[in-house]
Amino acid sequence: MSRVIVFFLCFFFCFLGNELQAERLKDIASIAGVRSNQLVGYGLIVGLDGTGDKTNQTPFTTQSFSAMLSQLGITLPPGSNFQLKNVAAVALHAELPPFAKPGHKIDVTASSIANAKSLRGGTLLMSPLKGVDGKVYAIAQGNLIVGGFGAEGKDGSKITVNVPSVGRIPDGAIVERSVPTQFGGDSQIVFNLRNPDFTTAKRVADSINQLLGPNVALPQDAASISVQAPQNPAHRVDYLSLLENVEVTPAEASAKIIINSRTGTIVVGKHVRVSAVAVTHGSLTVTVSETSSVSQPNAFADGETVVVPESDVSIEEETGQMFNFAPGPSLDDIVRAVNEVGAAPGDLMAILEALKQAGALKAEIVVI
């Protein structure tokens, strides 16, 4: 396992050792006000092969189905009790992209909210999708694509692959209302960096000013850069087409160590440094094994047969290894020292945490 860890460290050392390449502004920043919006709705899936809701346990499915029939001109007798094995109630959600216009199509995801076993083969009936303001922005309908499936035997055994109670409808909703934007009218456009950094914000402003002239772009903080822009939307499109292709070299990230506690993967950034320190590495293994023996009395003795437990305790201690870090070692030095020690992922995490507590590690540790 230690070989795997060292491989990851060496790989990222080689990757981070190269100079950062210039990137387009559109790849590292977004335009303020140009954003997507979340939509949510409720609907009924029909046409299931007996895998729908158990309506005796989910009365809202029956109520929704009755309300739908009444809107279609079908009136059920009062107190009707019917089982709908082929119908399932679902929650719908979608993302309305920026500048979406009426008539555009967007993807929809349907998730069962009751006890339907599978949505495979089902069809979503016409359902409205609403925004946070309660207004309808899209209408969803169509056949579901379900990536999971399940099978069940008569003896109760069953197997399930992925999640069959969630499906997706590509282009399953038609946009009916567009979201108002503030794309035109303001005298400025604000670019928001996806990874806030003061150095990157300054470099973005400098690159734009070098292209368009002094004081056209001004950094507001570590995340935002305001740029003077024409108020006419038609001119603004050409203007942004020019700006989003401006190349900027992002600043190098701060010293950071990322630890994935589940997989044991550890990634060390380029600028991680360690003060002068000596580290010893070793482990103590205690093994306790339990066995049982039978104690049986003689043939004519007045006794009972009993089971006697026997315990065997052994202690194994590995020889501790010590390695020394000179002041300010690079990532290559850290990798080489860890490789010589042969630390496992758990041991390496403990070493890094100990260095952090001792104040010798000049980096931030992030556990994911």
pLDDT, residue 220, reads 93
Give residue 53's pLDDT band: very low, low, confident or very high (50, 70, 90). Answer: confident
Q: Residue 151: is its pLDDT beyond 70?
A: no
What letters, b where the CB count within 10 A reaches 16 and e where it falls short, cover 257-266? bebeeeebeb
pLDDT of residue 318: 58
Q: How confident is the model at residue 185 (pLDDT cuts 50, 70, 90)?
A: low
* Rounded Cα gap, residues 207 and 218, in angstroms: 11
Structural domains of the chain sorted by starting position, each given as residue range(s) with its CATH number in brackets: 2-10+256-367 (no CATH), 21-34+183-248 (3.30.1360), 37-175 (no CATH)
The larger pLDDT score, comparing residue 221 to residue 296, is at 221
C-alpha separations of 265 from 123, 270, 305, 313, 318 in Å: 43, 16, 54, 33, 24
Please count the residues of the chain: 368
Note the pLDDT of residue 227. Answer: 94
**291 has pLDDT over 60:** yes
CB atoms within 10 A of CB 275: 15
**Nearest CA to 3 among 279, 265, 330?**
265
Type of residue numbered 200: T
Residue 17 has pLDDT above 50, yes or no: no
Burial annotation 316-336 (CB, 10 A radius, 16+ → b, else e): eeeeeeeeebeeebebeebbb
More confident residue, 2 or 187: 187
Q: Which range, 80-94, 191-205, 222-236, 252-266, is most confident?
A: 191-205
Which whole-number Å values give the CA distances from 208 to 86, 245, 332, in the listed order?
59, 10, 37
pLDDT band at 50 (very low <50, low <70, confident <90, very high): confident
pLDDT of residue 314: 59
In this predicted structure, the answer to whether residue 288 has a pLDDT above a threshold of 60 is no
Span 167-181, average pLDDT: 92
Nearest to 129 by CA among 41, 68, 36: 41
pLDDT in tens, 318-337: 555 555 555 555 556 666 66
pLDDT in tens, 233-278: 778 888 999 999 999 998 887 777 777 767 767 777 777 776 666 6
Which tokens in the block code for residue 44?
A: 């009924």
Question: What does the pLDDT average to over 40-65?
Answer: 87
Nearest CA-CA partner of 310 in 281, 290, 333: 290
Residue 298: exposed, middle, or buried by beta-carbon count in 10 A (0-12, 13-18, 19+)? exposed
Would you say residue 71 has pLDDT above 80? yes
- pLDDT, residue 83, reads 72
**pLDDT tens-place string over residues 86-138:** 899 999 999 999 999 999 999 999 999 988 888 999 999 999 999 999 999 99
CA-nearest of 171, 116, 111, 165 to 142 is: 171
- Please say if the pLDDT value at position 20 is more than 60: no
DSSP track, 154-174: TTS-EEEES-TTEEEEEEEEE
User: The whole model's pTM is what?
Assistant: 0.67
Q: What is the pLDDT of residue 10?
A: 43
Distance CA 150, CA 158 (A): 7
Answer whether residue 158 shows pLDDT above 80: no
Residue 309 burial (CB count, 10 A): 8
CA distance 167 to 48: 13
> Which secondary-structure segment (H or E) carries 16?
helix 2-17
Sequential DSSP letters for 85-139: TT-EEEEEEEEE-TT--TT-EEEEEEEESS--S--TT-EEEEEEEE-TTS-EEEE
Average pLDDT over the chain, rounded to an integer: 78
In percent, the amount of the chain with pLDDT more than 90 equals 34
Coil, helix or strand at residue 140: strand
Return d(Cα 254, Cα 324) in angstroms, integer.
25
